Amino acid sequence: MERIIRISSLTIDLERVRAIKLNNFNNVGETNILNIEYNTRIEYSKNPFTNEVEKNEIQDVITKTYPDFETAQIYQGEIEECWREYLNEK
């Protein structure tokens, strides 16, 4: 199983996936949103004002809105199946 997959115009790094969630509703009123959450990554940067190196934790999330719940569920299932297969081969 490849580490990087492309499903429903999304490019996903299966090595970094932490969770795959399907939301029916959010604050803005959009529905059928598929969220792919990645593991937290650490980034270090030098503050130009203090010259100190600062540590930042970044949580990446890929989101895609679908026209209906059934379509979103289908793609969620496909991605979860690929993720499971990748983890089993690892």
pLDDT score, position 26: 56
Please state the pTM of the whole predicted model: 0.81
Cα–Cα distance measured from residue 83 to residue 13, given in angstroms and rounded to the nearest whole number: 9
Cα–Cα distance measured from residue 2 to residue 60, given in angstroms and rounded to the nearest whole number: 20
> What Cα–Cα distance (Å) separates residue 25 from each residue in 14, 30, 68?
25, 6, 12
pLDDT tens figures, 34-75: 999 999 999 999 999 999 999 999 999 999 999 888 999 999
